[in-house]
């Protein structure tokens, strides 16, 4: 139970950075923290005591594996996180070119 | 982008080829050992990124590399979708593992379409990551439109 | 098996398009237009085929990817609700892509636009057909990432800012959905919606149950711009290229927000008005807040596109209220409004762009008398407004009538009165635009403007025909599309029986 709650606390730290930081780069770091928190959660969800990594190296092996599915899910969510982080950084670069700042308080040409 | 110092260039010259080969190994053994298309693709991209960073490049070379990575990325994606559609050609489901071969441990030619899918994914991921690197870090040409 | 094998094509064909376009457009720029439009025509055909296939009596198609059986492999489910969502998606995307052929004349990088659009389309279709929660998340993210990039496609300062704002909000929503998927996986050890619904039904309504539901609903609420989370919507809708706005407002919020939410609430968590009245009251409350806030924000807008954007917030509120009423006619009304609003909002945003293209302004006070100079655009805007405001015999009228009927049937008379009252607010702000922009004013000269090129008008006319047909032919639409979809939702855990074939 404790590791799961720790993941949620980590998630909230990331959310704090996203919602309250003014620097775009720090917001992006906040997203990374949230993604790691969820990935960690998946890894904990698949954990089994005294189990092996889910790799078959021999045909007649005893199969006491940890749940391999969360690892596949984490891999997928890492790929998505990679795509979103790259897109966010690209947007941040273009925004810096236009506004010459990373401070979201100064990036306010849109009303509302 | 400017190149880096002689030390970096020397090390890069030694390491880049090995990195590339190791990536290929991870891709081709993806159905037998940990790794697979994604991890191997990242390693292959790392080899290209290392060379680009160490030796530097001029703008038109980067433009050329960007086109090259874009073509390879599309071909990888196309390959994967076509592999999926091959299930129809064989009269089975989408993404069916055509030869009903679920892999033999320690046997390279086994596992049906899984090794082929790994190769397609590695092309997609490797070229895609290299493209992201060029777009974000290496060049100003992407910015011009 | 062969007649059901069209299901994965709904995702595979747009993906194929997305990868073919960059290759072919190296040879000739025009291939991007050609391939994009061919894909959308083909998908529209598949959507219609799917609807016809289901109307022959089957309750749904369960497609097993790669031949693996349900709880282990990835399943695709094509039931009546999916058929509805896939139909409206492709019905709006097809004219939007026709519109794009001329719209893109002002931009470079035509192939990038079409590639992103194909990814968006693949994601939207994928959300609708996926029968497993993690795949649903992946497809939501595919469509969302493509839409972030499309919003910022113009790369002017405002567009980048709106894109970043939208992306920050959207990603918080996406991560909330992912967190909930992780929670549910840790609890039930499965990802298949059907399997998970049975496991959750056995577990009862614990604190964990409500926490997971709340987390995933926050994610969907952000994606559909419910009122506390609506701040990204007007900026994103204004900054995106017009066909993308039409798809975002018409389809994206419906598929990723409403469809995914209703699927999760009714079929995964198995809730209904009788088992969880407090939850459904809360949906009604949030819906009402959206209706009121969206309507009031729209009244004072002088920018006709921003007005339409706020009107979207308000209409999403109606949909939510329809689901919240929770009886049969409320849900049927909500689903009918999903269908009607998708086509109507698509039409309105496209014709708004057609006006902006000719006059170069978005301010309703500086243009007037366009009815003379741009008759087709003007009439498509006017017909769209009438449908949105709920004037009979258009589709919007029947949808709101059904929602009001649902409220009366549940003895929520105050809700019926409020819904009807705010429908007149909608009428008010839409009439303001029509009166100022299209009907000639005596005091000023009509704004000189040229009618848009034929391709754009063709797109508008297609959507007008769709909107009018949904209105005049509301009985067949109700019988063949909306009511089976509502029954699929009310089936609740019957979804699980469909998947496991028992």
Q: Tens digits of per-residue pLDDT, C404-443?
A: 999 999 888 999 998 888 888 888 888 888 888 887 665 5
| CA atoms of C41 and C34, how far apart (whole Å) | 11
Residues of B in contact with C16 (CB under 8 A): 78, 81-82, 85
Whether residues A76 and C162 touch (CB distance < 8 A) is answered with no
Question: C444 pLDDT exceeds 90?
Answer: no
Q: Are C107 and C100 in contact (CB under 8 A)?
A: no
pLDDT > 90 in chain C, percent: 47
Question: C408 with C328: CB under 8 angstroms?
Answer: no
CA-CA distance, C369 to C449, in Å (whole number)?
10
Q: What is the mean pLDDT of chain A?
A: 85
- A105 belongs to a structural domain: no
Per-residue pLDDT at C443: 52
Q: pLDDT band for position B1 (50/70/90)?
A: low
Dist CA C77 CA C83 (whole Å): 10
**What is d(CA C405, CA C484) in angstroms, rounded to the nearest whole number?**
19
* Residue C240 near residue C150 (C-beta atoms within 8 A): yes
Query: Please, is C161 exposed, middle or buried when counting C-beta atoms within 10 Å of its C-beta (0-12, 13-18, 19+)?
Result: buried
Q: Which residues of C touch B94 (CB under 8 A)?
A: 5, 8-9, 12, 63, 65-66
> Which candidate in C142, C170, C182 is best for mutational testing of the A interface (most A CBs within 10 A)?
C182
Element (H, E) at C63: strand C60-64
Cis upstream peptide for C393 (omega within 30°): yes
Question: Between C161, C189, C234, which is nearest A109 by CB?
Answer: C161
Q: What is the DSSP letter of A10?
A: H
**Which chain B residue is nearest to residue C13, measuring alpha carbons?**
B81
Separation CA C287–CA C320 (nearest Å): 5
Q: Using DSSP, how many helices (H) and how many strands (E) does chain C show?
A: 22, 2
CB contact under 8 A, C164 and A92: yes
Is C172 in Cβ contact with A38 (below 8 Å)?
A: no
ipTM of the complex: 0.92
CA angle A52, A54, A58 (to 5 degrees): 90
Q: Is the pLDDT of residue C83 over 60?
A: yes
pLDDT digits (tens, 9 = 90+) for B78-135: 999 998 888 887 777 777 777 766 667 777 777 788 888 999 999 999 999 999 888 8
Considering only CB atoms, which residues of chain C are within 8 Å of chain A? 134, 138, 141, 145, 148-149, 152, 155-158, 160-165, 167-168, 171-172, 174-175, 178-179, 182-183, 185-186, 189, 191, 231, 234-235, 239
Instruction: Name the pLDDT band for B142 (thresholds 50, 70, 90).
Output: very low
Alpha-carbon distance values, B41 to B125, C158, C246 (Å): 5, 36, 37
Lowest mean per-residue pLDDT among B1-10, B120-129, C301-310: B1-10
Which chains have 3+ CB pairs within 8 A of C? Answer: A, B
Query: Which range among B89-98, C73-82, C350-359, C492-501 shows the weakest confidence by mean pLDDT?
Result: B89-98
DSSP state of A109: -
C77 three-class SS: strand
Does the pLDDT of residue B26 top 90, yes or no? yes
The predicted pLDDT at position B111 comes to 77
A39-65 pLDDT, tens digit per residue, is 999 988 888 777 777 766 666 666 677
Supply the pLDDT for residue C441.
60
A80 → chain C, closest CA residue: C141
At C314, list the tokens.
Answer: 């308000």
Determine the straight-line distance between the first and last CA of chain B, rounded to whole angstroms: 20
User: Does the distance separating the beta carbons of A57 and B105 come in below 8 Å?
Assistant: yes
Q: What mean pLDDT, rounded, does chain C reach?
A: 88
Would you say residue A11 lies in a domain? yes
* Selection from C262, C242, C264 nearest residue C350 by Cα: C242
For C306-373, the three-class secondary structure string (H helix, E strand, C coil) is HHHHHHHHHHHHHHHHHHHHCCHHHHHHHHHHHHHHHHHHHHHHHHHHHHHHHHCCCEHHHCCCHHHH
Residue with tokens 């790794």: B35
Q: How confident is the model at residue A110 (pLDDT cuts 50, 70, 90)?
A: low
3-state secondary structure (DSSP) of residue C62: strand
Tell me the per-residue pLDDT of C384-396, one tens digit each, with 9 for 90 and over. 999 998 888 888 8
Q: With 60 as the cut, is the pLDDT of residue C379 above it?
A: yes
Distance from CA of B145 to the nearest CA of C (A): 7
**Chain pair A-B, CB pairs under 8 angstroms:** 17
* Closest by CA position to C253, among listed C187, C318, C158: C318
- How far is it, in rounded angstroms, from Cα C145 to Cα C116? 9
CB contact under 8 A, C161 and A110: yes
Domain count across chain A: 1
- Answer for the pair C480, C44: CB distance below 8 angstroms, yes or no: no
Every domain of chain B and the residues it spans:
6-143
- Domain membership flag for residue A108: no
- Give C65 to chain B, closest Cα distance, Å: 6
Task: Please tell me the distance from the alpha carbon of residue C194 to that of residue C264, in angstroms, as a whole number.
Answer: 11
pLDDT at C422: 87
Q: Which residues contact C442 (CB under 8 A, 6 or more apart)?
A: none
> Is pLDDT above 80 for C353?
yes
Cα dist from B123 to B25, B27, C318, C394, whole Å: 14, 10, 47, 51
Contact indicator for C339, C83 with CB cutoff of 8 Å: no
Structure tokens at C184: 């549910």
A residues 78-107 near B, CB within 8 Å?
79, 86, 89-90, 93-94, 97
Burial class from Cβ neighbours inside 10 Å (0-12, 13-18, 19+) for residue C403 reads: buried
Nearest Cα of chain A lies from the Cα of C73 at a distance, in angstroms, of 12
A70: nearest Cα among C185, B30, C180: C185
Count of pairs with CB atoms under 8 A, one residue in A, one in C: 90
Find the CATH number of the domain harbouring A34: 1.10.287.3510
What distance in Å separates the CA atoms of residue C74 and residue C68, rounded to the nearest whole number? 7
Does the pLDDT at position B145 exceed 70? no
Nearest-by-CA chain B residue for A84: B132
Closest CA–CA distance from residue B138 to any residue of chain C (Å): 19
- Establish if B34 touches chain A: CB-CB under 8 angstroms: yes
């Amino acid at each position: 139970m404790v590791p799961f709650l720790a993941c949620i606390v980590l998630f909230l730290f990331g959310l704090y950075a996203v919602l309250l930081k003014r620097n775009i780069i720090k917001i992006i770091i906040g997203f990374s923290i949230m993604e790691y928190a969820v990935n960690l959660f998946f890894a904990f969800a698949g954990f089994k005591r005294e189990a092996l990594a889910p790799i078959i190296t021999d045909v007649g092996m005893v199969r006491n594996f940890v749940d391999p599915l969360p690892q596949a899910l984490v891999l997928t969510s890492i790929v998505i996180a990679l795509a979103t982080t790259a897109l966010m950084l690209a947007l941040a670069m273009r925004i810096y070119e236009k506004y010459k700042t990373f401070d979201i308080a100064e990036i306010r040409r849109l009303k509302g | 982008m400017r190149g880096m110092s002689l030390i970096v260039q020397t090390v890069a010259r030694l390491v880049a080829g090995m990195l590339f080969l190791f990536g290929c190994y991870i891709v081709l053994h993806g159905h037998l050992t940990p790794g697979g298309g994604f991890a191997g693709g990242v390693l292959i991209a790392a080899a290209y990124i290392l060379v680009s960073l160490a030796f530097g490049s001029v703008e038109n070379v980067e433009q050329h590399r960007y086109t090259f990575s874009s073509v390879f990325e599309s071909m990888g994606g196309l390959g994967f979708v076509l592999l999926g559609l091959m299930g129809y050609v064989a009269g089975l489901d989408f993404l069916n593992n055509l030869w009903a071969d679920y892999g033999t441990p320690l046997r390279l030619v086994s596992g049906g379409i899984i090794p082929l899918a790994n190769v397609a994914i590695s092309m997609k991921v490797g070229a895609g990551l290299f493209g992201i690197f060029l777009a974000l870090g290496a060049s100003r040409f992407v910015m011009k439109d | 098996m062969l007649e059901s094998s069209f299901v994965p094509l709904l995702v595979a064909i747009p993906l194929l398009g997305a990868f073919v376009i960059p290759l072919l457009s190296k040879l000739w720029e025009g291939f991007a237009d050609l391939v994009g439009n061919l894909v959308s025509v083909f998908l529209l055909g598949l959507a219609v085929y799917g609807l016809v296939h289901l109307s022959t009596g089957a309750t749904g198609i369960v497609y097993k990817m790669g031949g693996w059986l349900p709880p282990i492999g990835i399943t695709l489910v094509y039931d009546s609700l999916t058929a509805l969502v896939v139909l409206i998606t492709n019905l709006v995307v097809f004219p939007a892509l026709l519109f794009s052929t001329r719209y893109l004349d002002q931009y470079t990088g035509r192939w990038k636009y079409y590639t992103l659009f194909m990814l968006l389309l693949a994601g939207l279709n994928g959300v609708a057909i996926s029968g497993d929660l993690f795949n649903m998340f992946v497809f939501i993210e595919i469509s969302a990432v493509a839409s972030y990039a499309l919003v910022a496609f113009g790369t002017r300062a405002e567009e980048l800012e709106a894109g970043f704002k939208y992306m920050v909000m959207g990603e918080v929503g996406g991560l909330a959905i992912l967190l909930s998927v992780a929670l549910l996986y840790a609890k039930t050890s499965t990802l298949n919606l059907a399997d998970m619904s049975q496991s959750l039904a056995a577990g009862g309504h614990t604190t964990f149950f409500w926490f997971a539901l709340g987390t995933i609903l926050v994610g969907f609420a952000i994606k559909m711009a419910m009122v506390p989370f609506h701040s990204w919507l007007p900026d994103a809708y204004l900054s995106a290229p017009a066909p993308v706005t039409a798809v975002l407002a018409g389809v994206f919020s419906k598929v990723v927000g409403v469809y995914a939410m209703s699927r999760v609430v009714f079929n995964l968590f198995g809730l209904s008005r009788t088992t969880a009245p407090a939850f459904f009251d809360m949906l009604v409350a949030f819906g009402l807040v959206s209706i009121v806030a969206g309507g009031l924000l729209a009244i004072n807008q002088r920018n006709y596109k921003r007005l339409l954007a706020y009107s979207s917030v308000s209409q999403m509120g109606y949909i939510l209220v329809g689901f919240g009423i929770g009886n049969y006619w409320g849900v049927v009304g909500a689903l009918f409004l999903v269908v009607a609003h998708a086509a109507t909002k698509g039409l309105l945003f496209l014709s708004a762009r057609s006006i902006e293209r000719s006059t170069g302004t978005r301010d309703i006070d500086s243009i007037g008398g366009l009815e003379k100079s741009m008759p087709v655009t003007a009439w498509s805007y006017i017909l769209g407004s009438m449908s949105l405001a709920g004037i009979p015999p258009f589709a919007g009228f029947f949808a709101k009538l059904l929602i009001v009927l649902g409220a009366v049937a549940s003895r929520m008379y105050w809700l019926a009165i409020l819904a009807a009252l705010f429908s007149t607010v909608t009428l008010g702000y839409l009439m303001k635009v029509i009166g100022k922009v299209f009907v000639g004013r005596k005091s000023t000269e009509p704004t000189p403007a040229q009618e848009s090129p034929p391709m754009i008008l063709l797109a508008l006319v297609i959507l007008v025909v769709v909107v009018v047909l949904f209105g005049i032919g509301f009985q067949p639409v109700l019988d063949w599309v909306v009511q089976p979809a509502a029954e699929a939702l009310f089936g609740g855990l019957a979804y699980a029986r469909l998947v496991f074939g028992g």
